[in-house]
Structure 1
Amino acid sequence: MKDNSYYGQLNVFQIIAQEGSISAAARKLGIAVPSASQSLKLLEQKMGVPLFHRTTRNIQLTEAGRQLFARTKMAMMTLNQAFEEIQNFNSEPSGTVRITLSRFAYQLILRPYLTEFHNRYPQIQLEISLNDALVNLLEEGFDLGIRFGNRIDEGMIARQLLPAFKEGLYVSQAYLQKYGKPKTPKDLTAHQLIGYRFISSNRIEPLVLNIDGQETALNMDTPLLCNDPEIIADATRQGLGIGRIFEPNMQTFEDKENFVPILQNHWREYPPLYLYYLQHSQKARKVQSVIEFLLEKMGK
């Protein structure tokens, strides 16, 4: 059923802008596509300007639509959270919580506890988005994010999940037999590195070592490029090259004794890992439940 109020129309408008299509917004809102389309039409009539450019294949915000989206997004978020808090006052937390994080953070922080979380909060739907890039929660419509460092935008809160740790360098016994063990960073010119390419920037990450107290980037031959830490671990196991694996991840490997550490005195240290979120979003019980769960699992 369509909602003819300003609130209802703005809510539909916001979801269409976030989802990128009227049909996807209708599915998310649990209404018929014609109802969502009619709600948008009524809002555009009230505004007196089109809010979207429409083609047969996509729908994009007009300049007026972008301004309306930006100026009403926080207000709509606050209203929706207020309604949700009252509706859930005497009930268990429910609804969708969108979280953005890197593959590394997913493997270490979320993957081991997905079933436990679902069993504890069966009415909360987690929507997980893997992204190595820095994501603006408000602009992208996320409730929570996990990233290195606590430098955050205004209006955000950061809670530490993991302390600072190092990125280890490991090889297999088969690799050692073929190439030998490097004793200094200069020896790496005769070695192979499993390469990593960032999905967001398409940039290949150089090997960075701590040399004489300075972080120094080194270029190495790379027999294999990938964008996933699991592939790096697999390639390292099979002796293709030197693998970069975060120390906390290594501790989760059942076969960690098969990974031989090298050049430990030169390992790069990363800053602590933080959970971050909008200042008022933790008031929603579903979001607060996820925050408390993750802090509990990380021993915070």
Structure 2
Amino acid sequence: MRLPLATLEIFTAIARHGSLRAAADALGIKPSTVSHQLKALEEQLGTALFIRTTRSISLTEAGRALIRGAGPAFDQLSEAVESARSTGHAARGTLKLAMPEFAYHLYVGPILKSFCAEYPEIELELSLTDALSDILGEELHAGFRLGDRVAQDMVAVRLTQPLPVVVVASPDYLAARGIPETPRDLLLHNCIRYRFQSSGHIAPWSFQSNEGEYSVDVQGNLIANTLPATIDMAKRGLGLAYTFRAYVAPLIDNRVLTPVLDDHLGLTPGFFMYFPREYKSMMPLRLFVDHIKQQQGV
């Protein structure tokens, strides 16, 4: 038998409010509709649910059996509907994000204390990965990426301004191998390369000239698929690394790493968050995006 949910709701309202008219008022429908739906439910079940007199209405044995099961069930349904209505529209709930580890250190880690203090009922779950995440397949809400090229059913929101890049090496490496004066000189050096986890391609080393942007096909005996690993190798004097200047700024300031070729380097598009269009109005996500953008001055 197909569950008669609409008529069960009316039956539950009658049982709880003690009359057909009171049930009609509670549900916002006509008393005649309540009477008609109750009759239809009793006919479908093949038994009377209420004993009706001119002065009162009371449950039959069948009616008492039904309310024992239907009452708690409708309470749960009401809670579920209210939960669905409020999820994503209040400053609470879970927010699951995927991001590269260096993006966490640059942009997310520094704002976590203030974000959590302002929105203590939002639970953040962070997946640190350099791979381009499958938001829907991995049951995430959003991810971070460079540039705004995303799938057609996704939305991209800028988090940062375009980011300067840098080529760095340890002072010991440069003292032993010499300082490259032009990007072409990199062909004579050991360059620590980065491999994208999603595509498997080696990241290009791009430079700027009066004629526009160009890449140098650098070579070396070290490749890693996380940016922190390439920087660690550079710190150990194993070669030159190509990265975001903001990511290694403290190491440059402390003279752990030395920048080279600054006059030949440009900007990357900057970081964006991408997420399904359906999450555009999700309150925890909107609050998180706004918090980062405020900190970045975007």
> TM-score normalised by the shorter chain: which range applies?
0.5 to 0.7
Which residue does the alignment assign to 2:29?
Answer: none
For residues 87 and 264 of structure 1, the distance between their equivalents in structure 2, rounded to whole angstroms, comes to 48
Which amino acid counterpart does residue 200 of structure 1 have in structure 2?
S
For residues 178 and 87 of structure 1, the distance between their equivalents in structure 2, rounded to whole angstroms, comes to 59
For residues 88 and 277 of structure 1, the distance between their equivalents in structure 2, rounded to whole angstroms, comes to 14
2:291 to 278, 293, 300: 293
For residues 94 and 294 of structure 2, the distance between their equivalents in structure 1, rounded to whole angstroms, comes to 20
Shift of 1:268: 4.8
Shift of 1:252: 4.6
- Once the two structures are superposed, what CA deviation does each residue of 1:134-184 show, in whole Å capped at 9, x if it has no partner? 334334422122212223333433221111123210122211210111112
Which residue does the alignment assign to 1:75?
Answer: none
Shift of 1:270: 1.3
Q: What does residue range 6-45 of structure 1 map to in structure 2 within 5 Å?
A: none
Which amino acid counterpart does residue 266 of structure 1 have in structure 2?
H
Which residue does the alignment assign to 2:278?
Answer: 280
Moved more, 148-157 or 262-271: 148-157
Which amino acid counterpart does residue 214 of structure 2 have in structure 1?
E
RMSD over equivalenced CA pairs, Å:
3.1
Which residue does the alignment assign to 2:51?
Answer: none
Shift of 1:254: 7.5
For residues 210 and 254 of structure 1, the distance between their equivalents in structure 2, rounded to whole angstroms, comes to 22
- Once the two structures are superposed, what CA deviation does each residue of 1:59-92 show, in whole Å capped at 9, x if it has no partner? xxxxxxxxxxxxxxxxxxxxx9984453687xx6
The two structures have a TM-score, normalised by structure 2, of 0.63
For residues 87 and 269 of structure 1, the distance between their equivalents in structure 2, rounded to whole angstroms, comes to 39
**Aligned 8 A contact 1:167 1:246 in 2:** yes
Inter-CA distance 231–151: structure 2 relative to 1 (3 Å threshold): closer
Inter-CA distance 122–168: structure 2 relative to 1 (3 Å threshold): same
For residues 117 and 165 of structure 2, the distance between their equivalents in structure 1, rounded to whole angstroms, comes to 33
Inter-CA distance 155–203: structure 2 relative to 1 (3 Å threshold): closer
Q: Which 5+ residue runs of structure 1 have no aligned equivalent?
A: 7-79
Q: Does 1:150 align with 2:148?
A: yes
Which residue does the alignment assign to 1:65?
Answer: none
Which residue does the alignment assign to 1:194?
Answer: 192
Which residue does the alignment assign to 2:36?
Answer: none
Which residue does the alignment assign to 2:216?
Answer: 217
For residues 218 and 248 of structure 1, the distance between their equivalents in structure 2, rounded to whole angstroms, comes to 24
- Once the two structures are superposed, what CA deviation does each residue of 1:215-257 show, in whole Å capped at 9, x if it has no partner? 22313123x3322222222222232111212022133548444
- Once the two structures are superposed, what CA deviation does each residue of 1:18-75 show, in whole Å capped at 9, x if it has no partner? xxxxxxxxxxxxxxxxxxxxxxxxxxxxxxxxxxxxxxxxxxxxxxxxxxxxxxxxxx
Which residue does the alignment assign to 1:20?
Answer: none
Shift of 1:260: 1.8
* 1:138 alignment partner, SS class: coil
For residues 87 and 239 of structure 2, the distance between their equivalents in structure 1, rounded to whole angstroms, comes to 55
Larger radius of gyration: 2
Which residue does the alignment assign to 1:245?
Answer: 243
Which residue does the alignment assign to 2:86?
Answer: 86
2:180 to 179, 182, 188: 182
Identity, in percent, stands at 28
**Aligned 8 A contact 1:81 1:283 in 2:** no
Which residue does the alignment assign to 2:167?
Answer: 169
2:139 to 135, 141, 144: 141
* 1:110 alignment partner, SS class: helix
For residues 88 and 146 of structure 1, the distance between their equivalents in structure 2, rounded to whole angstroms, comes to 20
Which amino acid counterpart does residue 156 of structure 1 have in structure 2?
M
**Aligned 8 A contact 1:215 1:268 in 2:** no
Which residue does the alignment assign to 1:39?
Answer: none
For residues 166 and 181 of structure 1, the distance between their equivalents in structure 2, rounded to whole angstroms, comes to 20
For residues 81 and 95 of structure 1, the distance between their equivalents in structure 2, rounded to whole angstroms, comes to 16
Shift of 1:94: 2.1
Which amino acid counterpart does residue 149 of structure 2 have in structure 1?
R
Inter-CA distance 276–199: structure 2 relative to 1 (3 Å threshold): closer
**Aligned 8 A contact 1:81 1:281 in 2:** no
**Aligned 8 A contact 1:250 1:256 in 2:** no
**Aligned 8 A contact 1:100 1:145 in 2:** yes
**Aligned 8 A contact 1:147 1:275 in 2:** yes
**Aligned 8 A contact 1:167 1:269 in 2:** yes
Aligned pair count reads 221
